[in-house]
Structure formats: C-alpha cells, structure tokens
Amino acid sequence: MTTLWPIMLRVWLASGSSRRQQMLENIFPNLVCQALDGVDESAEEAEVSQQVFEIANKKSAAIKENTDFDLIIVSDTMLADPDIDNVSIGKPTDEVDAAMMLHRLSGRRHRVWSSTGIYFSGHWKFFTDCAIVEIKQLSDEELVELVLSKSWLGKAGGYDLAGDMSKYAKLVDGDESTVLGIAGSAMELLNQIAIGS
C-alpha cells in the first residue's frame, strides 16, 4: 500500500520552475508541472517574508476549488537585499539586470525566503522559511560566465544554487530546498504525504 500511495495521488505543481519540478517528481510519479497564468506577482511593501507569503497566497487564490488534483503546490521565492534586509530582490529581467544582481551579492551573505502553499485533504496550509547563502567574491570573468550561461533565467537573485552558481556559493543556514524554491518545512510535509503518513 505504501508503494502504491504516491502513484495514486494526482499532484499539481502550479509552477514553471524546473528546480521545483526536479525536487518533487522523484516522490510524486503523477506530478503535473504547469504554471498559473495571469497571477499578479507584485506585493505590498513589507518584510520579505510577508511579500513571498502574499504572492504564494495570490497563486493559491487563483486556483479553482473543483480541480481534479488531490494535492496542489504553489510557491514563491525572493532574496533579501544584503544591505537592507526588508527589501526584496526578485528575478532579473535581462542580462544587465542579472549582472547587477550578481555583482550586488558577490562576496556577501544574504537571506533567501520561500513561501509554499500545499492544498491537501480539502484545505490550504502555508509554510514560509528562510535560508542564508554566501557567495564568494566573483571575478569579472566569473560574473560574465554566469551571465552568459543564462542560468539566471527565471531565478530569484539571478542564480541557481544547484546549477552553475554551485561552484561559487554555499548554504550557511537553513534548507537547500528553501533556496531552490520550496520552503524546507513544506518539503518535510510533502515527503510525509508521499509515504502516506
């Protein structure tokens, strides 16, 4: 029964993130990964933890209740500016924006926030977690290499900790899943659901 349980679950990851998909497809064989259209991903000025929660909550509100899925996951990830901890850094819009973000983070530590909503057993539950990442001082060549690799596309702060940036950055505190896009405490619950406990 335990081995059949995750196969029976119809799971929707309401995100276009390949990293989130990779984290979940191993535990949920019937995972459907499809982003929501037309969700306003802006947030009121507030602590970064509140901003990511607000956006994750907007994503959950955009989902109609009568879906064909047993489990639905929404998530949002933002960085806190290393100089002003309550100012958020989102996804870069182009190569220049990516270069500016990476230059700002170079040689410093910063906080990464993820807020994840899980719909299961008829109701939503939200988790918002923080992790701390340190990026070494990037040389001009390394910065150019990261920008030209396009690894910044769709990534908060312009980098992918499990991708090209793994050579230059390390997790100082918190869960890696929080940095990759799913709050660590939410990932724990998803693992519990997957094994049917």
Q: What is the mean pLDDT of the chain?
A: 91
Write out pLDDT tens, residues 16-51: 899 999 999 989 988 999 998 888 777 777 899 999
Scored b (16 or more CB within 10 A) or e, 41-65 reads eebeeeebbbbbbbbbbbbbeebee
**CB distance 119 to 145 below 8 Å:** no
Q: What is the pLDDT of residues 94-153, one digit of tens each?
A: 999 999 999 999 999 999 999 999 999 889 999 999 999 999 999 999 999 999 999 999
Beta strand residue intervals within 90-177, DSSP E: 109-120, 123-135, 169-173
- Average pLDDT, integer, range 7-15: 89
Residue 8 pLDDT = 81
Query: What was the pLDDT predicted at 36?
Result: 87
What pTM was computed for the model? 0.90
Q: Which amino acid is at 184?
A: G
Give the span between the Cα atoms of 102 and 196, in whole angstroms. 41
84 Cβ neighbours under 8 A, 6+ residues apart: none
Q: Tokens 């955009």 label which residue?
A: 62
